[in-house]
């Protein structure tokens, strides 16, 4: 966002664009501190305690005040996705209903926060400069990927909790072992993804995308193994249904994650200027 200098006083700053304002770094081009010290949160913010995943930075070049809004939301979603998925697998392995119950609450909260981002689409598009309207498509697509991720987590958490709560037979050792193998691989990818967004080192996305086929191949192998077990030794329809559902939904989760990464990578790799809000 670029705010022209205003004669007789500093430019006005508010949250009318639907953006949550948080901790600031506000120094001019000489390194001197700007008189912008207030913590600002708009009326539509999901959280009002200042503990948000956004922060802003301001610089003045003598003519205009440049305000850059950095979103940590994506890193936060990825971090919590990692934790929720691991807790679901661990809860199943240990048959721990408390872990799974807590996980359900966590995924509902995450879904609500992603929904809150979606609710700001109108304000985001409404306040874009004409030159930056193309950014709305990117923003909507990213939100779509985040929603797909949370929906997969909701389903994984729900079926895991339901299985244990209904006292169905515990998953077999080989099934748990295979799920943990997938969890370890997924954890590695999500950790790398989190670092990318925390450090804004989008050039590293290409390395993560190279691991996509490896993970999908692993999932396909586990599905084939379960098909063979079902035909020869598996005796529990509930276990078989749960295991297949977990594998397929994990594949959907990773598809959404990789789609999001590809969107960021393509945008970072292009010459499209960043969005500005008038």
Q: Go through the domains of the chain in sequence order and give each one's CATH number.
A: 1-71 (no CATH), 73-269 (1.20.58.220)
Least reliable range by pLDDT among 16-20, 201-205, 273-277? 16-20
Residues 6 or more apart whose Cβ sits within 8 Å of residue 176: 89, 92, 93
- Alpha-carbon distance of 236 to 31, in angstroms, equals 67
Asked if the model's pLDDT at residue 20 lies above 60, the reply is: no
Residues 6 or more apart whose Cβ sits within 8 Å of residue 112: 46
Q: What is the mean pLDDT of residues 207-219?
A: 93
Separation in Å, CA 101 to CA 80, 98, 161, 167: 16, 5, 7, 14
Beta pairing, strands 54-60 & 2-4: unpaired
Over pLDDT 90: what percentage of the chain? 46
Asked if the model's pLDDT at residue 18 lies above 50, the reply is: no
Between vectors from CA 203 to CA 142 and to CA 258, what angle results, nearest 5°? 40
* pLDDT for res 233: 83
Asked if the model's pLDDT at residue 14 lies above 60, the reply is: no
| Among 158, 180, 113, residue whose Cα is nearest residue 249 | 158
Asked if the model's pLDDT at residue 16 lies above 70, the reply is: no
* pLDDT for res 197: 84
pLDDT band at 135 (very low <50, low <70, confident <90, very high): low
Separation in Å, CA 232 to CA 173, 194, 229, 235: 16, 41, 5, 9
- Alpha-carbon distance of 60 to 6, in angstroms, equals 12
* pLDDT for res 235: 76
Average pLDDT of the residues of the chain: 75
Q: What is the mean pLDDT of residues 202-221?
A: 92
Asked if the model's pLDDT at residue 212 lies above 50, the reply is: yes
- Give the burial class of 149: count Cβ atoms within 10 A of its Cβ; 0-12 exposed, 13-18 middle, 19 or more buried: buried
Half-sphere exposure of 186 (CA within 13 A, CB side): 30
């Amino acid at each position: 966002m670029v705010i022209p200098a205003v004669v007789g006083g500093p430019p006005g700053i508010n949250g009318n664009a639907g953006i949550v304002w948080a901790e600031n770094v506000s120094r001019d081009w000489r390194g001197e501190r700007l008189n912008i010290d207030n913590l600002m949160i708009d009326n539509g913010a999901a959280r009002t305690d200042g503990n948000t995943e956004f922060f802003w930075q301001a610089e003045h070049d003598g003519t205009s005040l440049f305000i850059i809004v950095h979103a940590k939301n994506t890193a936060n979603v990825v971090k919590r996705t990692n934790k929720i998925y691991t807790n679901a697998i661990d809860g199943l392995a240990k048959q721990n209903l408390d872990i799974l119950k807590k996980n359900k609450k966590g995924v509902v909260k995450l879904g609500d926060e992603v929904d809150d981002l979606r609710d700001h689409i109108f304000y985001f598009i409404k306040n874009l400069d004409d030159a930056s309207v193309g950014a709305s498509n990117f923003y909507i697509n990213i939100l779509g990927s985040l929603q797909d991720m949370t929906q997969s987590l909701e389903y994984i958490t729900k079926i895991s909790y339901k299985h244990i709560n209904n006292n169905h037979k515990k998953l077999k050792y080989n099934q748990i072992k295979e799920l943990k193998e997938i969890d370890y691989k997924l954890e590695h990818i999500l950790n790398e993804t989190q670092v990318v967004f925390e450090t804004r080192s989008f050039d590293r996305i290409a390395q993560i995308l190279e691991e996509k086929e490896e993970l999908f191949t692993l999932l396909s192998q586990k599905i084939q193994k379960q098909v063979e077990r079902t035909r020869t030794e598996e005796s529990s329809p509930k276990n078989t249904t749960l295991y297949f559902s977990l594998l397929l939904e994990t594949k959907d989760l990773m598809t959404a994650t990789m789609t999001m990464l590809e969107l960021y990578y393509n945008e970072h790799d292009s010459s499209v200027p960043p969005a500005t809000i008038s």
